[in-house]
Chains A and B, each alone.
Chain A
Amino acid sequence: MDNNRLSKDLFVLKEKQNDDVDKISRPSTTFLQDATRSLLRNIPAMVSIVALLVIIIMSFIGPKMNDYGYDDQDLSRAKMPARIQLFEDISWLGFAGTLSGTFEGATVEEATQNALSRYGGNEEFIDIEIKNEGNGTKDSAKVDATYRIYEAKDMEESYFWFGTDSLGRDQWTRAWQGTKISLYIAFLAAAIDLVIGVAYGGISAYYGGRVDNVMQRIIEILIGIPNLVVVILMIIILKPGIISITIALTITGWIGMARIVRGEVLKLKNQEFVLASRTLGSPDRKIIMRHLIPNVTGLIIINTMFTIPSAIFFEAFLSFIGLGLAPPEASLGTLIESGFKSLQIYPYMLVFPAILISIIMIAFNILADGLRDAFDPKMHD
């Protein structure tokens, strides 16, 4: 029994140690820092940012990199293929400045004749390579013809990096000019969507009650109207142009943002920190600006990043169905649309703007995915 008794002198006061033990060695990261860090670690997203920056910069300096204006028409140099100084000797890159194709005929002569008539009959500048001697039956002989069009037109000193279109306008200049306009429309549309959407959603959710009820009924009706239909109708009555396309895109575009913001604000506004702020007498404006908006920023950014590529797509789409910008204005959509007209013979007219729009769309989508991963607290480990 006595053994279990613990006498007081068994206990000695421990000497006080440095009270650093509980200290956090590193400063705690805020949500934004955390998100930034995980975004920086996301390699595809970073590559996309770089690609987008390069494209944005090029859209400003690209048109000034050569002497051709985006609307300089000259039929004598129409439909020239792409030719770039350093790459013209590497044939598979397609920057040699030649047109080539395979031609068929019953005999080699007939096939050669077909090639000559396609390229304007100037034998001197057409290289013929016989692929198949043929046996006299229809289309059995095959020849590859390469037309050195720059030499034929006595323009060996000229370089059209992306070629020229059917009116002799420099495609390089037009492609970057078009990129600038497409991006401009997309950014403008996204910005307008953001402002209207955040304001509408925020007000609807924050004030709640009857205000919310009325505003939501309006949205419920608007959301039923397919945006395709609205956009097309708007474009038909407004004259096609940069501003009217932007208006058409935003007229229903803000609804998605408004719904997201409303949902998030509804969730936030009943939380304790908002209640505390209100108890301390903060005016509505301050609660919205200081507490609610910063907390929905992540969602707003993500949503905007998804809006931009869809706006670029819609602009191109409108141009495609003939409701886009009027010539001589260029946008990626109008360039692709006119490229389609001569796809079979001059594929390069379609290729460059198509590649550009694809890169832009892919980069924005990857970046938006990356941002979503970075800003979504559930994804953080």
Chain B
Amino acid sequence: MARYIMQRIFYLLITLFLIATISFFLMKLLPGTPLTAEDKLSEEQREIILEKYGLNDPEPIQYVNYLGRLVQGDLGISFQFDNRGVTQILMNRIGPSAQLGVQALVIGTILGILLGLLAAINHTGFLDYGSTFVAVMGKSIPSFVFAGLLQYFVGVKLGWLPVALWDGFEYSILPSIALMIFPLATAARFTRTEMLEVLGSDYITTARAKGVNELGVVFKHGLRNALIPLVTIIGPLAVSLMTGTLVIEQIFAVPGLGEQFVSSVMTNDFPVIMGTTLLFAFLFVVIILIIDLLYGVIDPRIRLAGGDK
């Protein structure tokens, strides 16, 4: 186990190093410079600015400096926002994104499990088809289309909830709903399949034969076993939410990481782009690692070290 964890962390570090390196050199290839009114600057002013941000050094030196600062958690200084540190900018931005992501993931998954459970109990019945329908829709229709529908009907037409911006809990409801559709659909389908399989197994028959009441059978014997593999899809779901937040934050004008990323792409703010990319990558690999380790803890049948994933 310990060896496995070490091995995984080793790969994690290589991956992060690779991403840092790739994003550094890709940024160097970017067209355009970070200087906004380049024409208006005199040669000396340009020199001073480039010198200040260390852009005059040869690239290998810039790279080593960059890696050195990175190890200390310093992501550099933003070109756009008056010398503010990227780390600080991102820290200010992470709150709304995390709130949206957690709300969508938790509520979406719980609702999805319930929906899948109903479908499995009501196999080939009305609820089953209904939940399959919801699941296919939720998996297929892009989140930004949902977001548009919600914004137009709930926000504009009915006026129940704020259309956009970020000023308290009610502002987070619509974006969270738009984001949670995908985890909901995925969890519903997954729970349904697992639950049907579990309900058909021998120990369920045994439980029924012993006279356990139906609720006990479904929840205690059925659901608990059906949910173990659900852990494996939480990781990919969390990652897909990161993709989702990029768009949803744009639509609902939420001041989160995604919105920051998109605007820095527009303004060639290299350090912020690199910082966000690295942060996304870091969250991604860490989430996947935690989920994998957790899976082994929850289900002792999984041998982590052995075999191939």
**Which A residues contact B (CB, under 8 angstroms)?**
220-221, 224-226, 228-229, 232-234, 236-237, 239, 263, 309, 313, 316-317, 320-323, 336, 339-340, 343-344, 347, 350, 354, 357-358, 361-362, 364-366, 369
Partner of A236, one of B15, B137, B148, B273: B273
Given A316-B144, A354-B148, A362-B136: A236 touches B30 (CB 8 Å cut-off): yes
What is the CA–CA distance of A323 and B145 in the complex, to the nearest angstrom? 18
Q: Mark B93-134, 1 if CB is under 8 A from A, else 0.
A: 000000000000000000000000000000000000000000
B136 touches A316 (CB 8 A): no
Cβ of B277 and Cβ of A229 under 8 Å apart? yes
Q: Is the CB of A362 within 8 A of B250?
A: no
B19 with A309: CB separation less than 8 A: no
For A336, the chain B residues whose CB sits under 8 A away are 144-145, 148
Q: Judge whether A358 and B141 touch: CB under 8 Å.
A: yes
Given the complex of chains A and B, what is the CA–CA distance between A342 and B15 in angstroms? 42
17 contacts between A and B (CB under 8 A): A221-B14, A225-B18, A226-B280, A228-B239, A228-B280, A229-B23, A236-B265, A263-B308, A317-B144, A320-B247, A321-B247, A321-B265, A336-B145, A340-B251, A343-B148, A362-B136, A362-B140
- The number of A-B residue pairs with CB atoms under 8 Å apart is 113
Is A317 within 8 A of B284, CB to CB? no
Bound-state CA distance A129–B137 (Å) is 38
Say yes or no: B18 contacts A237, CB within 8 Å.
no
Q: Contact partner of B23 among A233, A317, A357, A369, CB < 8 A?
A: A233
Q: A340-B148, A344-B156, A362-B137 are in contact. Are A224 and B11 (CB under 8 A)?
A: yes
B290 interface residue (CB < 8 Å to A): no
A225→B156 CA distance, assembly (Å): 39
Q: What residues of B have a CB within 8 angstroms of the CB of A366 in the complex?
A: 136, 140
| Alpha-carbon distance A364/B262, docked complex (angstroms) | 29
Contacts of B12 in A (CB 8 A): 224
A-B pairs, top 4 by smallest CB distance, nearest first, are A224-B15, A361-B140, A362-B140, A226-B284
Give CA–CA (A218, B145) in the complex, Å. Answer: 36
Using A320-B247, A322-B265 as known contacts, list a sample of 8 further A-B pairs with CB atoms less than 8 Å apart, ordered by residue number in A.
A226-B239, A226-B242, A232-B261, A317-B243, A320-B250, A340-B144, A350-B148, A361-B141
Query: What is the CA–CA distance of A287 and B239 in the complex, to the nearest angstrom?
Result: 39
- A143 to chain B minimum Cβ distance, whole angstroms, is 17
Instruction: Give Cα A242–Cα B127 distance, bound, in whole angstroms.
Output: 43
Instruction: Report A241 CB to chain B, min CB distance, Å.
Output: 13
Say how far B18's CB is from chain A's closest CB, in angstroms. Answer: 6
CA distance A228 to B278 in the complex (A): 12
Q: How many residues of chain B are within 8 Å of chain A by beta carbon?
A: 45
Q: Please give me the residue from chain B that is nearest to A44 by CB atom.
A: B136
Q: Is the CB of A221 within 8 A of B15?
A: yes
B247's partner among A263, A317, A343 (CB-CB below 8 A) is: A317
Chain A residues with Cβ below 8 Å from B280 are: 226, 228-229
B142 and A316 contact, CB distance less than 8 A:
yes
Contact of B142 (CB < 8 Å), options: A313, A350, A364:
A313
Is there a chain A Cβ closer than 8 Å to B246's Cβ?
A: yes
Residue B281 CB within 8 A of the other chain? yes
Find chain B residues with CB under 8 A from A226 CB.
Answer: 239, 242, 280-281, 284
In the assembled complex, which residues on chain B have CB atoms less than 8 Å from the CB atom of A344? 152, 156
Contact yes or no, A362 B277, CB < 8 A: no
A309 and B262 CA atoms in complex are apart in Å by 24
Per the bound structure, the CA–CA distance linking A184 and B214 in Å amounts to 52
